[in-house]
């Protein structure tokens, strides 16, 4: 059984960003320095620990060692620079150096979808776990943070006797991450919960030392078995994905009935059992987590014989992907039945605001699909243009909203960056002879845009 241990919230204690680390404080290694690992390493250093981050990518290690974040995450560059300069945080591509002097090892590597199925690719997790065991010089607490299928940790534990040097002890526990891209720093320093799975009394006490500052602020600690801990993150993502797909399915009903899904969602959100978050109808979810996590859970549920869960997640995935086709159909309709040689201005490339991440981005997927149908697509994104260009170099890229809109046959709002949502519709209307806009995120005010001369369409909203 899992138990929740909640501390009464007190006056928040600031991160230990100054002063010396206690001599008995655990030394920390972070294996993998992508979105999760780089943020976790910097945050652990900010909490006062000596931290070393390891990655196989020497270019990434070199950049991080100079305090440079190789991706966009608000606030992380400042935090990283402060901790590198303090001497508490360093990076290496030598796994022996990373592991040898650390007491607690956080595994933060990726678990991408396999190329041949919906299952998660666990090769990076297995390699990280094995490398820690083989290079350990002292007893080790290995903490899995990567999102894995249930049962992974139990399988990894079987590797300990054959890989750990004689005379040493190692314990594997699971401590899932709940970071939101764009808010990762705050989510790490001030998490809304800390889950510890499969820990002995000693391991739990050690992790409570690591997380002492957020615990003192009132962050609840949930202790449980390994399978429960592994399922928490994927279940949370599956629930959010289901909520998004639900409102998108209802958006289709609204379009057919002439109703407004945005007003409907506002009304639903007043119900405390439902809430307003993740009830924005639109282009749907993407990124490096939700799509691959619900597919991995779908696959694992089928393996375990939990077929109702697998069928539900299949529908969630299909509804979500269908929204991309719906936006493509609206753009084609706006262009008179064909986008061939039509100019389309696309506002947004990242899968959501406050990130430059374009992994499985619905926005970039729609832009690329229209390009493949013969459209002249010009994309503008405040942060993700460079990462988008590396993924789809054949698309056109603009340096401003105005350049993307100039001379367009139709404009698509595909990522709800505030600076895109707050664009002046009257000024933009003067840049195109055919002012047509498709709001694929439900963030524009139809009345304002129509008054400025735009032909407005939105998902789940009345056509006029």
DSSP string, 141-196: EEEE-S---TTHHHHHHTTHHHHSPTT--EEEEE------TTSHHHHHHS-S-EEE
Q: Are 51 and 30 in contact (CB under 8 A)?
A: yes
Q: From the CA atom positions of the chain, what is the Rg in Å?
A: 24
Return d(Cα 114, Cα 290) in angstroms, integer.
Answer: 15
Of 369, 383, 455, 368, give the one whose Cα is nearest residue 415.
Answer: 383
Domain with CATH 3.40.50.720 in the chain: 3-7+25-224, 237-458
What is the number of other CB atoms lying within 10 angstroms of the CB of residue 117? Answer: 11
Query: For residues 370 and 384, what is the distance between their CA atoms, to the nearest angstrom?
Result: 19
Residue 228 contacts by C-beta under 8 Å, 6 or more apart in sequence? 2, 197
Question: Residue 6: what pLDDT?
Answer: 34
Residues 6+ apart with CB under 8 A from 455: 334, 434, 435, 436, 437
Report the candidate in 40, 33, 107, 109 with the shortest Cα–Cα distance to residue 79. 40
464 residues of the chain, pLDDT tens digit each: 333 333 333 333 334 444 344 557 999 999 999 999 999 999 999 999 999 999 999 999 999 999 999 999 999 999 999 999 999 999 999 999 999 999 999 999 999 999 889 999 999 999 999 999 999 999 999 999 999 999 999 999 999 999 999 999 999 999 999 999 999 999 999 999 999 999 999 999 999 999 999 999 999 999 999 999 999 999 999 999 999 999 999 999 999 999 999 999 999 999 999 999 999 999 999 998 999 999 999 999 999 999 999 999 999 999 999 999 999 999 999 999 999 999 999 999 999 999 999 999 999 999 999 999 999 999 999 999 999 999 999 999 999 999 999 999 999 999 999 999 999 999 999 999 999 999 999 999 999 999 999 999 999 998 87
Length of the chain measured in residues: 464
**pLDDT score recorded for residue 24:** 78
* Cα first-last separation, the chain: 54
How do 221-224 and 3-5 pair as beta strands? Answer: antiparallel
Asked if residues 248 and 319 have their Cβ atoms less than 8 Å apart, the reply is yes
29 SS3 class: strand
Task: Say which CATH architecture domain 3-7+25-224 belongs to.
Answer: 3-Layer(aba) Sandwich (3.40)
Q: Nearest 10 degrees: CA dihedral of 17, 21, 26, 29?
A: 50
- State whether residue 221 is helix, strand or coil: strand
User: Rounded to an integer, what distance in angstroms lies between the CA atom of residue 84 and that of residue 267?
Assistant: 48
Report pLDDT for 5. 36
Which letter does DSSP use for residue 8 in this model?
A: P
Cα distances from 85 to residues 67, 78, 238, in angstroms, run 8, 11, 39
Q: What is the largest CA-CA distance in the chain?
A: 77
Instruction: Return the active site residues.
Output: 289
> Looking at residue 113, what DSSP letter applies?
B
Q: Is-contact 314 241, C-beta < 8 A?
A: no
Is 310:119 a contact under the CB 8 Å cutoff?
Answer: no
Number of CB atoms found within 10 A of residue 317's CB: 20
What are the DSSP calls for 363-387, one per residue? Answer: HHHHHHHHHHTT-EEEEE-TTTHHH
> What is the predicted pLDDT for the residue at 23?
54
- The CATH code belonging to domain 237-458 is 3.40.50.720
Q: Sheet harboring 376-380: ordered strands across?
A: 396-397, 376-380, 343-347, 410-413, 436-439, 455-458
Three state DSSP letters for 450-463:
HHCCCEEEECCCCC
Residue 257 burial (C-beta neighbours within 10 Å; 0-12, 13-18, 19+): exposed
pLDDT of residue 461: 93
- DSSP H helices, 340-435, are 362-372, 385-391, 401-405, 418-421, 425-429
Q: Is the pTM of this model over 0.75?
A: yes
| pLDDT of the residue at 18 | 42
Which residue stretches of 260-417 are H helix? 261-269, 290-303, 307-334, 362-372, 385-391, 401-405
Q: What is the pLDDT of residue 9?
A: 33
Q: What is the DSSP letter of 299?
A: H
Q: What whole-number distance in Å separates Cα of residue 90 and Cα of residue 54? A: 9
Cβ atoms 46, 189 nearer than 8 A: yes
């Amino acid at each position: 059984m899992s138990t929740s241990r909640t501390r009464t919230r007190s006056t928040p204690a600031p991160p230990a960003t100054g002063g010396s680390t206690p001599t008995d404080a655990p030394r920390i290694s972070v294996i993998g320095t992508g979105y999760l690992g780089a943020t976790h390493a910097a945050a652990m250093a900010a909490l006062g620990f000596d931290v070393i981050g390891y990655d196989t990518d020497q270019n990434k290690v070199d950049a991080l060692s100079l305090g440079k974040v190789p991706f966009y995450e608000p606030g992380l560059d400042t935090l990283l620079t402060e901790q590198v300069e303090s001497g508490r945080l360093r990076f290496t591509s030598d796994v022996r150096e990373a592991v040898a002097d650390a007491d607690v090892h956080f595994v933060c590597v990726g678990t991408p979808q396999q190329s041949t199925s919906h299952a998660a690719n666990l090769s990076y997790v297995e390699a990280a776990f094995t490398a820690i065991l083989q290079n350990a010089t002292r007893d080790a607490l290995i903490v899995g943070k990567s999102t894995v299928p249930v049962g992974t940790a139990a399988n990894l534990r079987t590797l300990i006797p054959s890989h750990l040097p004689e005379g040493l002890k190692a314990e594997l526990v699971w401590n899932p991450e709940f970071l939101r891209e764009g808010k990762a720093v705050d989510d790490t320093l001030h998490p809304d919960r800390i889950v510890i799975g499969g820990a002995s009394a000693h391991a739990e006490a050690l992790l409570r030392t690591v997380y002492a500052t957020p615990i003192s602020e009132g962050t609840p600690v949930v202790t449980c078995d390994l399978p429960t801990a592994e399922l928490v993150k994927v279940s949370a993502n599956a629930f959010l994905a289901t909520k998004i797909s639900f409102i998108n399915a209802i958006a289709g009903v609204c379009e057919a009935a002439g109703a407004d899904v945005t007003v409907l969602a506002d009304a639903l959100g007043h119900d405390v059992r439902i809430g307003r978050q993740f009830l924005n109808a639109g282009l749907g979810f993407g990124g490096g987590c939700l799509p691959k996590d619900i597919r991995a859970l779908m696959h694992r549920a089928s393996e375990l014989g939990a077929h109702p869960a697998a069928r539900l997640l299949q529908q969630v995935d299909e509804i979500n992907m269908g929204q991309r086709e719906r936006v493509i159909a609206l753009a084609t309709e706006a262009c008179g039945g064909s986008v061939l040689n039509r100019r389309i201005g696309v506002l947004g490339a990242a899968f959501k605001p406050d990130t430059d991440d374009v992994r499985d981005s619905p926005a970039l997927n729609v832009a690329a699909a229209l390009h493949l149908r013969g459209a002249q697509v010009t994309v503008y994104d405040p942060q993700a243009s460079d990462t988008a260009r590396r993924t789809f170099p054949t698309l056109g890229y603009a340096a401003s909203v105005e350049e993307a809109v100039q001379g367009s046959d139709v404009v698509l709002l595909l990522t709800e960056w505030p600076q895109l949502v707050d664009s002046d519709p009257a000024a933009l209307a003067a840049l195109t002879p055919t002012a047509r806009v498709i709001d694929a995120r439900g963030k524009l005010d139809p009345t304002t845009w129509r008054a400025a001369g735009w032909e407005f369409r939105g998902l789940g909203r009345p056509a006029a």
